[in-house]
Each structure stands twice: as C-alpha cells, then as structure tokens.
Amino acid sequence: MSRLLSLAVFAVLVGGLLCLPQPYPIRLAATQAGTLLREPAVLVKEGGAQAEATQEGAHAPALWEELLQSSVAHEAEDGGVELWVRGYRMDLSETPYRDHRLHARLFESVKRSLRSVAAEEGFSLSFKENSKKGFPGAVFWCSPGAGTLLFEAQLPEGTALRSQREWHAPGRLSVLPFLAAIFVALVLRRPLVALGTGVLSAALLERVIAGHGWLAASGAGAGRLLGHYLPTELFEPNRIEIILFIAFMLAMVGVITCGGGVRGLMQGLARWAKNARRSQIVTFAMGLVVFFDHYANAVLVGGTMRPLTDRFRIAREKLAYLVDSTAAPVAGLSIFSTWIAFEVSTFSIQLPDVGLAASQGYEVFLRTLPFRFYSLLTLFLVFLVVVSGRDLGPMARAEARARGGEVLRKGSILSVFASEANLRVAPGVTSRARTALWPLAAMVVTTLVTVLVGGGLFESEARSGNVIFAGMGTRPLMLGALVGFLVAGLQAWSVGLGRGLLGAAWRGVRSALTPLALLACAWLIGAICYEMGTTAYLTVVLQETFNPLLLPILLFLLAGCLSLGTGSSWATMTILLPLVVGLAYEAGVSTALGGEGMLVICIASVLEGAIFGDHCSPISHTTVMSSIAASCDHVDHVKTQAPYALLAMVVTTVCGYYPAVIFELSPVLSLLLGAGVLSGVFFFYGKKGESAQKERSQGPMASPPELGQAA
C-alpha cells in the first residue's frame, strides 16, 4: 500500500513537471548571473577595444576579488566593505521577453554571491546604491550568448571587469537525475542504488545540456565525475571533518556499549520503574538520554526495558512505539548525534547560491529547531501517552489485551535481531553508568569549549549573541567526538574490555559505511545539479505556478510520501535537500518571511517529513529495528504506531506549518497550539487502561510467554 501511494505521488509529480512551461533563457540567466563573480576576471580597457587577464596562470583572481580591490569598494563604518553601485541591467536586445524586473533579479543574484563570499572570508559587506549619473559606483551588466554567459562590472574610470563561462539554459532534463533517484528508490527500495543512479544520470545529463551528444556525453560525464567532482567534493577539508566526526562518534558508541556503559546507564534508570506507568515514563526518559544515534537508541532501550514492561503487563506494541517514536526525533534534533552532520551536509553545499557561506550550515540547522514541529509534537505525544495512561485505536486494544496478561497477540510472529550481539556488553565486563557518562560529558564539553573559543567568546570585541553561531561548525564536532572516543577507550579499558576495544570501535564505525556512501552521493548529485542549474530552473518555473507560502507544507508532505515508499529518512533528505535551498530562498523573497526565513522553514519541513514517513513505513530500518528490539510482531507495531504518527502529521500541518507560514505565527505559539490540540484529542478520545488499584490486585507478571514463531 505504501509503495502504491508513493508511486501515485511520484506520477503526479512527474505529470506536474511535464506541464510546466519552459521559461525564457533570459530569466534563468538573471537568476544565475551572480555565479560569474567566482570566475577568473579579465580587465577590459576603456572603450572595450582590448582585454587582458588580470593575472596569468592557475591562480588568476576571481572577479569578486578584483571588484573588492577596485575604486568602488570603500571601508564601511564597522570596518567592513561598502560597495558603491550605480546601476545594473540585463541585456534584453536578443530576446522578446521585456520584463524589466530582470534587472533587479540580476542585482539580487550579485548581492547573494558577494554576501556569500563575505561570509566565507569573514568580513561584513554592505551596498550603497545611487543611480545619479555622476555617482562613482559600479554598473553590473549581464548578457546570455550562444553557449556562454557574460558578466561585466563596469567601473567609474571607464574600465570594466569581465568574466564568462560556458552556459546553457537549464530545462526539464536538469530535473531528471532527481526523478531517476526517486523512481529507483521507490521501485527497488535500495537507497544507495537509487542515489548512485541519480549521480550517474546527473553526470551524463550535465554534459548533454552542455551540448555534447548522448554517446560523447557518457564518456565526458564519467571523466568529469571522476576527475573533477569526486576529488572536489569528497576531499574538501569540511567534508573530511564530517566523515571523521561520524566515524569517531560511532566508534565511541561501539566502545561504551560493549564496555557496559549504556547498559549501566539504562539499568540505573530502570530502578525507577515500579509499576506500569513508571516503566513507560522510564522508557521515554531512556529514549531522551540515548541521543547520539537512533539505531543505538532503538536496540538498547527496547532490549533493556522489555523484561520490565512485560512484568507490568505493557503490550509489546506499546514498547515498540515508545522506542520508535523517540529514536529518530531525538537523534534528529540533537546537535551531538550522527544525524546533525548528515542533515547539514545535504544542504550546506547549496548555501553559497543564496548568499550564505557553506560553513553557516550549522547556524541554519540551529535556526530550524523551533520549526521541527513533527519531532517536537511527536515527543510531546509520547509524553502524553506515558503520563495520562490513555491510548487511541489499535494501541488501546493492545493495552487492554496486555492488562489481561497477553503482552503479545496470539499468533504473533517475532523476529530475532541478527546483529544484536554487536550491541551487547562484552563478556567479563561490569556494566557501569560512568563508562558512558564520562565520554559523553567529555564530548559535549570539548565541543562547547571549541565552539565558544572559535566564536570569539574570549576576545575583547566578541558579541555574546553571535558566539554560538560563529563558532559552530564541523571542527568542534569532530574534536568533541575524538575526545569522547579516547575517554571511552580509557573507561572501557578500566572495566575490563581490554583487547576487544578496537573490535568494538570497528563494529560501531562499520554501521556508518552505508550512511557515509549516501552522504557522498548527496554531495555529488548536489554539486552536479548546481552546475546544470536545476535549482534555477525549478525556481523560475514554479514562481508563477503556485503560492510560495504553500511550499513548506508541500515539501513536508512530499518528503513524507517519499520516506514512506523508500523506508529511509536519510535517503529522502539526500534526494530533496540539495534542491530545496535555492528554491525556498527565491520563493521567500516575495513574501513577508524573506528568503532566509523561508529557507529555514523549508529545510525543517523536509527533515520532518522524512521522519514522519519513516515512522509509518513498514520497510523502514528504524521501524523494523524497534519491533525487533521490543520482540513484537512487526505488522502489529506498524498498525498501532501509524495512527499516532498520522495524528502528529495532521497537527503539524494544520497547527504548525500553516499558521507559521500563512499568518507568521511564532513557532513557539504554533507548538503550544499543536500541543493543545493533541491534548484535547487525547483526553476526549483516548481510552484509559485499567486502574492502578486493579493493576496492583493482579500483580506483576513473572515471565510472559513468547508467542508465535521466531524468524
């Protein structure tokens, strides 16, 4: 059913794209003009009769460098750069399209590119505009030619700085790599194969759009992929730091798990579970504590609490729900988890296209947190469930059955987690909470100190309000994970892990190989499609097609359907986020939210839609792992969890994104509104389990039978 629904949505998506008109090339040129500021500059002398390269060789300065050293760049009052501008115009002589708003679009593209450079280089940039004839400012001019895009910054002294590059107006072919990735993911349900297909098709089509024939493009595309995109995207310093962060983080998880740290922590919390309600509250608390990885969350919490929840007659479906509905939301929101590097890396490469530095990806991520409505409301819903003792629909029936002594439905088919040994405590090791607490504390403290130092907290001119944003990045996370791993190794050695330490670390790292491959594909497909102009094409054709304020809701639902069909929230993020940055920014420019405001909300909506679809998908790795860790029938888990996920999705849409975007309601008020609606639904329609008095009279169950057949 999930596959049919997702394929139907895909068919509607393809049909809609085929119906979109091809925009005039001049509109696409105006949108992409700012990219030429990063091309090598050529000095055009007065009269345009002679052109000279400003510097020969591979280190020729880009046009932006020459522009900021020219007569139109002045020192601002804050010590930054103030650029004087007299005018800007697109060359409309070769096109029948006479929309004079294109001139303003050109300037917006230039400003975004220069602001991105300023963010990367660490200086402030402002613009002083004056259209009077004698004003000594630059005039920006852009002209699309036959296979080229030409840009000039005309200076007051009569010279000009010129750059150009190969350019072909992007069309429907530029969207095909993403459609190919989505289709393969829905049909084969193998995210890595799907993303690999997207990368290869993008490399081929980028050369086709550049004017090569299909046969020639196959060879040229492969050569460009291997010789240009792979080394550029995978060996960039920030990317290496991201890979190391994930590796050190998961190595730390492997060591503290095999060293008994997480088990000791779980056992310490489990001592508070004295009855059915408390055991559910403790399960919820454990889900919040294991914030560093969703897989570890599901397996460790489910395996630790299962004996206690069985003892107090809590349905296995309920345990699976508590585990599943805290795993991904908590890891997705945590800034100290394997998720943050993955989430940020899928969209940060596109930030320069909207005037932000790629290094600002973590700042953008932090700004999305108030708009992560689905995860926050799902966690609130879990809190309601465990505190109120009420349930809805199939879960209420499962809990009524469990209170009668049947924690499993008759005929349930259980599964055995083949890799559970990887997350067990090593033989001969004593489980102690401090084995986990010290490494986690070391990781958090090291990261925060590095962020504060990097943000300039101890500098005399530091502004405290910007310290976190200024200091956040890949390096603090990498260093924090490294120190956490080293402390975990010392702690595990002290409790007797010994020679098994390296094996435990490798088992943790090995689980990251597929996610890292997905991440590499995201970097590659994002970079290639940026060159093709995919985002520019979608931005231009969609601007006049739909109300931009509906974009966050549409992206949330699209991400949910894609995640539902593929069973992978990470694959969904990988496919959609490279497209979202430019599209959302351009859509938001004409709204009260502004470009950056719309960008932040749209990124949040894709992340949240991916988690929602993951919760409903029967083929999701996290959903499967949760049902296995709880030793529950997988189909029963999906049936009982889906109503809660759908309820949270509807409330997220109606009370979260709709009022936050349409009415500009504060995200805090949107969350309070959503929490109020969830509380009302739950207390009016939820069914409460048996009373505490009756529960005590029945007494706890010693050892519930395992029903069905182990698979």
Give the model confidence (pLDDT) of 199-213 as tens digits.
898 888 888 887 778
Whether 506 is in a domain gets the answer no
φ/ψ bin of 214: left (φ > 0), alpha (ψ from -120 to 50), beta (otherwise):
alpha
Whether 302 is in a domain gets the answer no
Check: CB of residue 618 under 8 Å from CB of residue 2.
Answer: yes
Check: CB of residue 208 under 8 Å from CB of residue 217.
Answer: yes
Same domain, yes or no: 47 and 144 = yes
Same domain, yes or no: 229 and 242 = no
Same domain, yes or no: 35 and 133 = yes
Same domain, yes or no: 106 and 184 = no
Q: Which two tokens stand for residue 505?
A: 């670390």
151: part of which helix (H) or strand (E)? strand 148-154
Supply the pLDDT for residue 421: 38
Supply the pLDDT for residue 702: 46
DSSP summary character for residue 657:
I
Same domain, yes or no: 187 and 98 = no
Single residue among 139, 166, 193 that ends a domain in this structure? 166
Supply the pLDDT for residue 708: 39
Q: Please identify every stretch of the chain with a pLDDT value under 50, giving residue numbers as ranges.
A: 50, 56-58, 416-422, 462-465, 691-699, 702-711
Single residue among 218, 235, 252 that ends a domain in this structure? 235
Long-range CB pairs of 541-546 (<8 Å, 24+ gap) are 541/20, 541/21, 541/22, 541/23, 542/20, 542/583, 542/587, 543/586, 543/587, 543/590, 545/20
Whether 101 is in a domain gets the answer yes
Rounded to whole angstroms, the Cα distance separating 324 from 329 reads 9
| Domain carrying residue 179 | 175-235
Same domain, yes or no: 193 and 159 = no
Same domain, yes or no: 145 and 30 = yes
| 588-621 per-residue burial string, b: 16 or more CB within 10 A, e: under 16 | bbebebebbbbbbbbbbbbbbbbbbbbbbbbbbb
Amino acid at 455: G
Whether 386 is in a domain gets the answer no
Same domain, yes or no: 136 and 181 = no
Whether 626 is in a domain gets the answer no
Whether 249 is in a domain gets the answer yes
Q: Kind of pairing, strands 148-154 and 42-44?
A: unpaired
Single residue among 437, 472, 489 that ends a domain in this structure? 489
Whether 67 is in a domain gets the answer yes
Same domain, yes or no: 128 and 202 = no
Dihedral, CA of residue 282, residue 284, residue 286 and residue 291, to nearest 10: -160
Supply the pLDDT for residue 600: 94
β-pair partners for 142: 90, 151
Same domain, yes or no: 248 and 182 = no
Same domain, yes or no: 154 and 68 = yes
* Number of compact structural domains in the chain: 3
Whether 458 is in a domain gets the answer yes
Same domain, yes or no: 142 and 229 = no
